Structure 1
Amino acid sequence: MKEAVHIGRNPASQPDLEDLLNQVALGDQRAFTVLYDAMAGPVLGVARGVLRDRAQAEEVAQDVLVEVWRTASRFRPERGSAANWILTLAHRRAVDRVRSAAAAAAREHRAALLDRMPAYDQVTEQVEARLEREQVRHCLRALTDVQRQAVTLAYYRGLTYRQVAQDLALPLGTVKTRMRDGLIRLRDCLGAGA
């Protein structure tokens, strides 16, 4: 009958985890069985300490031990002990599970908030747009004739400064100055009306 291995109780009865990991890296299933028996409890303990839910901790522990089987060749003894490597994998996997659960809860919360938001109100949108257009018209009337003509040609007809200057038969510099002054007055007017 196989003797149970207890980590931390009797150093003489502990298996050499580094040696076991090297054998597991070569595909030795018996070495993995001994490693599994030695580390399943500590891995579950780490996972349970992070997750606080036994079922999730068991899932994480199982995932970690499968990962140890698959990635045993990545273990580097110069970076730490085999037990620490395995327990670090367990801790990281448990933290990932917590983060994943938190992200899912946040997504569900945002979705619930969207469900509670009022439906798009087309009438309100149309009224607001109409009021904005009226405010712009009011502010355009406050500009000088040349400012209003230059702004209208540039922004409503899509002409360049040069084209506006040709249409108004004014020097390009004058058009730019009038446009700048007109836009400043529009901004001030629209800002005051807001």
Structure 2
Amino acid sequence: MDAEAKRRQLSAALNRVAGGDRPALCLVYEMTSAKLFGVCLRILNDRSEAEDVLQDVYLTVWRKAASFDDARASPITWLVAIARNRSIDRLRSAGVVRFSQPIEAADAVADPAPSAAQTLEDAQESKRLKSCLDEIEARQSAAIRSAFMDGLTYEVLAEREGVPLGTMKSWIRRGLAKLRECLER
């Protein structure tokens, strides 16, 4: 499952949790507990405390899932913020005034989903590649698509087209050269 699909699944599960769906909370736990435990442990430096805080995190998720807004933050960002805040609250309540590591040293938790700019750039590159593939000879284009997009071997392609292996390799090599030339324009 790719990052975007996981994000959608987690977002949908949080929305179901907001409606009181306990199995959805189990799914959220399965998908995120390792990461959130790591956040808690890094801040608290105590496994037992981190486990306690993690339990508090999921109680908070259960009570406040309705406040999650997918338009404002990704689900994992929202969950990490809860874990981080609960961990810091635990340190404060214990009277700990210094961290073994400054909070700024904690790794940033990035949203694995591509940014809008990256998505747009990928779409433009895909459109450009398709346009260049359409410009080269049909046999070469089909062979390149089958080899690089469908994962077929040169041997399978040669057999399917009824041509010698060397011919298939030449078609693909010449097609790639034309494709490179088109993409560099």
TM-score, structure 1 as length reference = 0.46
- The answer to which structure, 1 or 2, has the higher relative contact order (CA under 8 A, 6+ apart) is 2
Larger Rg: 1
Give the TM-score, by structure 2 length: 0.48
